[in-house]
Structure formats: C-alpha cells, structure tokens
C-alpha cells in the first residue's frame, strides 16, 4: 500500500508476472474464517515504520480514527484470522500492544520489503510446513474484512504461494501489502535477494498468487489527506 506503486494487473502467462489465479467471489464480509482449509498457523507482520510524508510526517500507527489508534484497529481486525505471532515492524517511538513482537529493519528506513524480512526473522520456529504469514501496512484499516477472504481463497488453491488483494482506483492493481503468503516460500524468496531499498512489487510478483478482488472499503489505505478524510467519514475522526 503506502510506498508501493501500482503493479500492472497481468493475466496468467503474461510476461513479467508469475502465474496468477483468480478468486472473483465478491463477498460482502469475511465470513467464517474456518472455511480456509489451509490447516497451518497464521502469523501476521504489520509494517508500521513509514514516515507518513503525505500526511505531514505523522506516525501512521498513531493516527486516530473512530477514537482508536490505527495500529489498534488493524491488529483487532487481524485477530479472528491470526493464530500465531503478531509482529509489528516499527520504531521505538510507536507504542506496541502487549503480546506483540516488535522489530525494525537494521538500519532503519530500508523500505517495506526490508521490513517484511525483519518481521519474518522474529517469528517463532515453524511448527510445520503449512504456516502462513499475513502481511499488511498499518495504514490499512479495512484489512479485517479482507483477511478471511484471503485465507479462504488460498485454501481453495492449495498449490499457490499466497493470495493477494486486487483493488484501487481508477484501475485495480495488486496490493502486495495486503496479502497472505506461505511462510516458507516468502522467506525463501526474500532470502535470495537484497531486500533493502528493493521494490515490493518487483520482488513478490514472481510468486504464484491467487488474486482476490477487493472493494474500496476493504483495500483503501491511509496515504493522503483525502484518504484520511474518507476513512474518518466512515469510522469517525
């Protein structure tokens, strides 16, 4: 989301993208999470280290919507899906709820891909081969409604490397920072590249991902004053 430019939405077999599968069920809600049939532990890595330059340099994690910090809204939204560790990639100035693991790429400011790698590094040892990692930015208050859909979509395509939201205006595109990935395949990919200052879309597009079409209320981030006003109207400022 924030900091990741639109990647072209490419059909399976097109040059420049990995294989693509499509989940076109536009359900209004997440529905029963148990429908996912993935069977493994689900962890989450929440990226909260961005500077929020288009919002005047504020800490996005500390933006208040509906009387609650954005970080708390995102973590609560992930609660019904996440059965493993909750990792927050954030500087020490961001207050992180008890029970979460905090980390930050070293040195700081390496970009979201470096943040994802740092988050993976502090996950507990794998309990089995089927573990999943949900990756999102702290500026995605709609992730709670989307997470269950990602889980179900991947469960219906057990050979896939993950599931990723496709949304945005005026033309939908892959939202790699609203994605659910198989832990071993994501970690294996990041272990083979230089993650610092490397584009997320450029790197993750080689994965075999199920695309989940997401309405704006599920995938819109908080990246500009206009985005903030849009969410404040719906959640309260």
**Interval 150-163 mean pLDDT:** 96
Residue 139, pLDDT > 70, answer yes
In the prediction, which pLDDT does 38 show? 58
In the prediction, which pLDDT does 3 show? 39
Q: What is the 3-state secondary structure (H, E, C) of the chain?
A: CCCCCCECCCCCCCCCCCCEEEECCCCCCCCCHHHHCCCCCEEEEEECCCCCHHHCCCCHHHCEECCEEHHHHHHHHHCCCCCCCEEEECCCCCCCCCCCEEECCCCCCCCHHHHHHHHHHCCCCCCCCCCEEEEEECCCCCHHHHHHHHHHHHHCCCCCCEEEEEECCCCCEEEEEEEEEEHHHHHHHHCCCCCCCCCHHHHHCCCCEEEEECCHHHHCCCCCHHHHHHHHHHHCC
In the prediction, which pLDDT does 52 show? 80
Does residue 1 lie within any of the structural domains?
A: no
Residue 16, pLDDT > 90, answer no
- Whichever domain contains 201, its CATH number is 3.90.550.10
The pLDDT tens digits for 161-196 are 999 999 988 889 999 999 999 999 999 999 999 999
In the prediction, which pLDDT does 55 show? 87
In the prediction, which pLDDT does 2 show? 41
Q: Residue 27: which pLDDT band, with cuts at 50, 70 and 90?
A: very low
Does residue 12 lie within any of the structural domains?
A: no
**Interval 2-30 mean pLDDT:** 35
* List of residues 6+ apart from 91 with CB closer than 8 A: 49, 104, 108
**CA dist., res. 52 & res. 190, Å (int):** 25
The pLDDT tens digits for 73-132 are 999 999 999 999 999 999 999 999 999 999 999 999 999 999 999 999 999 999 888 999
In the prediction, which pLDDT does 47 show? 98
Does residue 182 lie within any of the structural domains?
A: yes
Residue 33, pLDDT > 90, answer no
Give me the chain's average pLDDT, please. Answer: 85
Query: Where in the sequence is the domain holding 42, given as residue range(s)?
Result: 20-235
Does residue 13 lie within any of the structural domains?
A: no
Q: How many domains does the chain have?
A: 1
């Amino acid at each position: 989301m924030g900091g990741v430019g639109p990647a072209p939405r490419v059909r399976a077999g097109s040059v420049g993208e990995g294989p693509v599968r499509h989940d076109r069920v536009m359900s209004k809600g997440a529905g029963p999470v148990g429908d996912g049939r993935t069977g493994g532990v689900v962890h989450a890595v929440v990226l909260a280290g961005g500077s929020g330059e288009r919002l005047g340099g504020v800490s996005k994690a500390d933006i208040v919507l509906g009387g609650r910090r954005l970080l708390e809204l995102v973590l609560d939204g992930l609660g019904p899906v996440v059965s493993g560790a909750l990792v927050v990639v954030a500087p020490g100035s961001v207050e992180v709820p008890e029970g979460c693991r905090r980390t930050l790429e070293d040195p700081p400011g390496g970009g979201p891909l470096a943040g994802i790698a740092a988050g993976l590094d502090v996950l507990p040892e794998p309990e089995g081969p089927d573990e999943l990692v949900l990756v999102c930015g702290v500026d995605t208050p709609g992730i709670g409604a989307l997470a269950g859909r990602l889980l179900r979509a991947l469960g219906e395509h057990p050979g896939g490397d993950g599931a990723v939201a496709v949304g945005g205006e005026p033309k939908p595109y892959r939202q790699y920072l609203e994605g659910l990935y198989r832990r071993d395949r994501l970690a294996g990919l990041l272990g083979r590249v230089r993650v610092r200052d490397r584009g997320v879309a450029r790197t993750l597009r080689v994965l075999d991902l199920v695309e989940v079409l997401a309405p704006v209320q599920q995938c819109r981030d908080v990246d500009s004053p206009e985005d903030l006003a849009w969410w404040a109207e719906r959640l309260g400022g």
